[in-house]
Amino acid sequence: MPRAASTPAAARFTGRDVEARFLGALRASPDLLPRGSSVVIAFSGGSDSLALLHLLCGIRESRGLRLTAAHFDHGLRGGSADRADGAAELCRRAGVPCRIERADRLAGSQADYRSARFAFLADARRRAGAARVALGHQRDDHIETVLLNLLRGSGYRGLSGIPPRRGPFVRPLLGFGREELRDYLRAEGTEWVDDPANRDVRHRRSRLRHGLVRALCEGEGEDPGTVLADLARSALQADGGLDGRARGLLAGAGYREVSDRAHFARSAVLGYDRATRGRMLRSVARDLGFRLSRGATRAGTAFMKDGASGHGVDIADGLRVEREFDRIHVRRVRGVMPDLELEIGQAGSGREGVRLGGSRYEVRWGALEGTERWATALPGHAIRFPLRVRGPRPGDRIRMAAGSRKLKKLLTERRVPASDRPVVPVVVSADEKILWVAGHATRAVASPDPEGTWFAIGIAER
């Protein structure tokens, strides 16, 4: 049901302090919603997302923001389609286009719907070419999350509550309370739609909101919300300190991330306790776009300690930990884009991108910049255009000074792990002769170039 737009208390509330604090928060954290960026607003039509819509509309011209909205209809109750239409109408009045999508064939758990909603928002961001997705979570949500995580026995990260930003998803309203935002909307003469799910005590958050939080707020003494918010800040600081230490330890272990994978020295991390190894592994997983559960962290750290070389273990849907000699690899195993090979049609100068085994490179030829990771000069008389830059293939051989060598054997002798071989760039002539294996070998030629011409080629990481 829509809420009344005005009350005597609301009439005395101008909302200007909310607008000023909102703008001040964005200025204090310029990376939250950068000037000139495109933003998708996750819009339910409830008071929080409606306040976010109005506040962003109020600053879109001064900050050059391009706004669109996205509404996910969970389809859990009758009338949800009408509420979706109502949300679209609120956006239309604000001059913001709104995309609507309905959940389909989900198992029905809260986790299923949350995953579907975030997948929809991520897709909406891609379609809009937006840099950020703005969510309407506010201070009360933040406090409830701290309590929920406390009841689960969470560590520092869980006790820090809801982060203002996680990747492209941002929450600009964490400094405002629920009733404060509703007073702002009442002062604006604006109605909102209540979501019945927020009062459904079958959901743990609703039970906590209308039970424990209400009981705490009715007690005497200091405001429990303030206490919990302080706890979250302290936990965030402690977690950040431990994360910083883990990053330093990873650097000491030779940590390196390239595209869809990362690796570090196993012997260097085994000297630390299990909790530290777990934090290091979670840090690597975050670099690759994953958040690990406790069980996943335990499985990964156990494998790091006891796993045999040449084996691995899946620790998340799409993330795998593997061991090769003294190296631990953490890599994505789903969604890796197919190789994108490059053809160089003739001599001259140029630069193009290439993707091998999930790693992206820039190939430069003719005129090099000196910043390439690998570079060589090929004798002109040995080249048959077009050249191709690709990854290694079964049966590949290269002529060396001592004779023809299998590429697989060459890379094995150079101690290139099997998981790294697909990302090794190979330059092949039109007659399928391998001219260069970047970083490892250049084709030997029987006689010098009579004309003295050379073809310079280099490869830089992107």
The CATH architecture to which 253-332 belongs is 2-Layer Sandwich (3.30)
Structural domain boundaries in the chain: 8-231, 253-332, 342-461
Q: What is the pLDDT of residue 2?
A: 43
Looking at residue 11, what is its pLDDT? 37
- For 357-396, strand residue ranges (E) read 359-365, 374-379, 387-390
For residue 48, give the 3-state DSSP assignment: helix
Alpha carbon distance 137, 435 (integer Å):
57
pTM of the model: 0.56
Q: What is the pLDDT of residue 5?
A: 40
Query: Across-strand partners of 362?
Result: 353, 460
pLDDT of residue 251: 95
Q: How confident is the model at residue 1, as a pLDDT?
A: 37
Please tell me the predicted confidence (pLDDT) of residue 7: 37
pLDDT in single tens digits along all 462 residues of the chain? 344 343 334 334 456 889 999 999 999 998 899 999 999 999 999 999 999 999 999 999 999 999 999 999 876 666 778 888 889 999 999 999 999 988 665 445 566 677 778 888 988 888 898 999 999 999 988 888 888 877 777 777 778 888 898 878 999 999 999 999 999 999 888 888 776 555 554 556 666 665 566 566 665 556 666 777 787 788 778 878 888 999 999 999 999 998 788 999 999 999 999 999 999 999 999 888 788 878 889 999 999 999 999 999 989 878 899 999 999 999 988 554 567 788 898 888 888 888 887 678 899 998 888 888 999 999 888 888 889 999 998 889 999 988 899 999 999 888 887 777 888 999 999 888 999 999 999 998 876 666 678 899 999 987
CATH architecture of 8-231: 3-Layer(aba) Sandwich (3.40)
pLDDT for 13 equals 46
Per-residue model confidence (pLDDT) at position 458: 94
Rounded distance between C-alpha atoms, residue 175 and residue 247, angstroms:
29
Beta bridge partners of 261: 258, 331
Rounded Cα distance between 368 and 330, Å, is: 33
**Containing H/E element for 38?**
strand 38-42
pLDDT computed for residue 401 by the predictor: 86
CA atoms within 13 A on the CB side of 420: 19
Q: Which of 275, 205, 202 is nearest to 243 (CA)?
A: 275
Q: Give yes or no on whether 8-231 and 253-332 have one common fold.
A: no
Q: Whole-angstrom Cα distance, residue 192 to residue 51?
A: 9
CB within 8 Å of 185: residues ≥ 6 apart: 5, 47, 50, 51, 54, 191, 192
Could you tell me the CA-to-CA distances from 452 to 115, 346, 377, 443 in Å, in that order? 61, 18, 11, 17
- Transcribe 150-170 into DSSP letters: HHTT--HHHHT-S-SEETTEE
Query: What pLDDT, on the 0 to 100 scale, is given for residue 279?
Result: 94
